[in-house]
Each structure stands twice: as C-alpha cells, then as structure tokens.
Amino acid sequence: GNSVTQMEGPVTLSEEAFLTINCTYTATGYPSLFWYVQYPGEGLQLLLKATKADDKGSNKGFEATYRKETTSFHLEKGSVQVSDSAVYFCALRGTGTASKLTFGTGTRLQVML
Amino acid sequence: GAVVSQHPSRVICKSGTSVKIECRSLDFQATTMFWYRQFPKQSLMLMATSNEGSKATYEQGVEKDKFLINHASLTLSTLTVTSAHPEDSSFYICSASVSGVNHEQYFGPGTRLTVT
C-alpha cells in the first residue's frame, strides 16, 4: 500500500535559518504529492503540491520538488520566520484512489527569535 | 473561501454514551466529505468517505456501527461515536471537497474527544 515517511520533529530553528523537512514515499504508479500546514488551533491548509515527476511546488517561500528517482518530496525554505511555526504534513494521493490522501506523521517546526 | 468548520472543538463524555461531531462547509457545497482520526504523534488515518445522500464508505478496520456517518446535505456531515469507550479518545478531523474525485480537500480544525 501507499505510505509516507517524514522526519520526526520537533525541528527548532532560529529566524532566518534554512529549513529542510524530509519526506519520502512508497506508492505504485504516479502519485500526486502534497505538503499541508497546520497552524495552532486551525485546520490543515494546503501549502503546495506537485502532480508529476520533476514538478516543483512553491508557495509563501516554501518549495518542494517531486523526485521520482529518490521517491522524495522534501520541503525547503531559505529563511524561516517565527510565523512559520506550525506542524507540516507530507501527503500523497495515489493514482486511481479517488481523492484519498495518505499522510505522514507530521513534523512540528518551532522558529525562535 | 473554502472554509470548513467543526463543532464542538472539544468534548468530554462518559463511557457508554454517544457523541455527535458536526462538519460544515461554510461557503461551498461539498459533494464529498472525509473523516480522519489522528492519534498523538501519528498520521491522520482516513476513517470513511461520505457522499451527499448516500451511505458512507468505511476504510478497512473501521466499525461502521460504532462510527455512524451521515451526510444529509451538501454542507453538513456528522460523525456519531456510539457507546464511546476510552480507546475512542482521539482527535477527529473532517475535510470536504467539491467534486469528490481528484479535487482539493479543505480541512476542518478538528475535534478533540475525551472519553472518561
């Protein structure tokens, strides 16, 4: 079956530091890949997505590239802010699975001044 | 736009009682709603998918008689945990999508259920 593995948190960084949150997946076919963010007390929000190999999703300074050869979709940001503190979920939607999402365990990011 | 609400945000109930959680799409009509369960430090686990006006499709291992799902309108789905037990304590999250197939899901803020 499909699965998503992401690095455990919490990740604690100083403001303006570089962020990488690793995500690897297992799936048959050509899944779509997503990063969701959950701010405290709020629901999950779609941060970015990529639907085919070598696609780069980007939003709010965050980027992730769909790497089929390494089955990865690592999230990066060049300079984090305190407001980026949240829990980040990597997810995939397999082919032919009618919108079903498979999530990673989530990585909590804490950005300090 | 695309806001999904859940009510209540937190609920405490006694063992053996039932509790209902509501999920509403506030500014769009959701043909499909999804219910997830999240354990501490674990992934969101899909429990069931419901389409408006039809019976929910439950994932393997999820008891349909224990977790009753109703999707009576295009803006409301409910999850009723029947005869709750402490092991049902968890964080329940709903999401809603417009077309239901390969379309973005919009998530609610979740409901924390504690069964004493």
Judged by a CB distance cut-off of 8 A, whether residue A33 touches chain B is no
Out of A31-40, B16-25, B38-47, B103-112, pick the least confident: B38-47
Separation between Cα atoms, residue A34 and residue A88, nearest integer Å: 10
List of chain A residues whose C-beta atoms are within 8 Å of the C-beta of residue B108: 43
> What does the pLDDT look like over A7-59, one tens digit per residue?
888 999 999 999 999 999 999 888 999 999 988 877 789 999 999 999 999 99
DSSP string covering chain B: ---EEEE-SEEEE-TT--EEEEEEESSS--SEEEEEEE-TTS-EEEEEEEETTSPPEEPTT--TTTEEEEEEETTEEEEEE-S--GGG-EEEEEEEESSSSS---EE---EEEEE-
A74-111 b/e (C-beta count within 10 Å ≥ 16 → b):
bbebeebeeebbbbbbbbbbbeebebebbbbbbbebeb
Judged by a CB distance cut-off of 8 A, whether residue B104 touches chain A is yes
> What does the pLDDT look like over A61-96, one tens digit per residue?
999 999 999 999 999 999 999 999 999 999 999 876
- Rg over alpha carbons for chain B, rounded to the nearest Å, is 13
The pLDDT of residue B63 is above 60 = yes
- Fill in the amino acid letter for B24: R
The confidence score (pLDDT) of residue A98 equals 59
Judged by a CB distance cut-off of 8 A, whether residue B44 touches chain A is yes
Q: Of B83, B87, B114, which Cα lies nearest the Cα of B11?
A: B114
- The two structure tokens encoding residue B83: 């005869």
Separation between Cα atoms, residue A59 and residue A64, nearest integer Å: 9
Which phi and psi angles does A83 have, rounded to 5°?
Answer: -70, -10
Judged by a CB distance cut-off of 8 A, whether residue B56 touches chain A is no
Beta bridge partners, B33, equal: B50, B96
The confidence score (pLDDT) of residue A97 equals 54
A82: which DSSP letter? G
How many residues appear in chain B? 116
The pLDDT of residue A106 is above 70 = yes
Separation between Cα atoms, residue A76 and residue A97, nearest integer Å: 28
- The two structure tokens encoding residue A33: 């890949």
> What does the pLDDT look like over B32-46, one tens digit per residue?
899 999 887 778 899
User: How far A74 CA sits from the closest chain B CA (Å)?
Assistant: 17
Judged by a CB distance cut-off of 8 A, whether residue B8 touches chain A is no
Contact at CB, A45 and B107, closer than 8 angstroms: yes
Bridge-based pairing of strands B111-115 and B10-13 is parallel
User: How far A14 CA sits from the closest chain B CA (Å)?
Assistant: 23
Section B81-91 average pLDDT: 95
